[in-house]
Amino acid sequence: MTVVEFDAWISGETDGAYRWTTTDERSERTQLQAMRERDALIRERNRLASNLQVETTLNAAAGDSDAGQPWNTAQERLNEANRRITQLSTYLTSAGWLLDGCGQ
């Protein structure tokens, strides 16, 4: 494996220079990418939950009891992040990963 191939492999770039040679290797790369995406989404979910609290507080202070302003999309994005986290967690669990207490 060359330096470029190793760098692509270690960084997990899906279009990196390294090309898998077996289906096991491909499966491991896919699982690694799913784990990285899941971890990033968990961080995003935490950020969105904070944004939603701020939006709710500001809407209450402004007297908006409905859905708030049209640009307040934190709840929609939070729902999408939760859906994708669940999807990735199901995939990784079926692949044999133990995800207990890992930010679900």
Judged against a pLDDT cut of 70, whether residue 69 lies above it is answered with no
Residue 74 CB neighbour total at 10 angstroms: 19
Mean pLDDT across the stretch 17-40? 85
Residue 46 CB neighbour total at 10 angstroms: 13
Higher local confidence (pLDDT), 46 or 59: 46
Instruction: Report yes or no on 83 lying in a domain.
Output: yes
Instruction: Report yes or no on 80 lying in a domain.
Output: yes
pTM over 0.75: no
Instruction: Report yes or no on 99 lying in a domain.
Output: no
Residues 85, 44: contact at Cβ < 8 Å? no
Torsion angle of the four alpha carbons 87, 92, 96, 99, in this order, in degrees rounded to the nearest 10: -90
Instruction: Report yes or no on 12 lying in a domain.
Output: yes
Instruction: Note down the domain range covering 79.
Output: 3-94
Instruction: Report yes or no on 100 lying in a domain.
Output: no
How far apart CA 52 and CA 60 sit, in angstroms, is 12
Instruction: Report yes or no on 104 lying in a domain.
Output: no
Instruction: Report yes or no on 70 lying in a domain.
Output: yes
Instruction: Report yes or no on 47 lying in a domain.
Output: yes
| Total number of domains constituting the chain | 1
Higher local confidence (pLDDT), 10 or 52: 52
Residues 6, 18: contact at Cβ < 8 Å? yes
* Helix, strand and coil percent figures for the chain, each rounded to 5: 65, 0, 35
Map tokens 């997990």 to a residue: 12
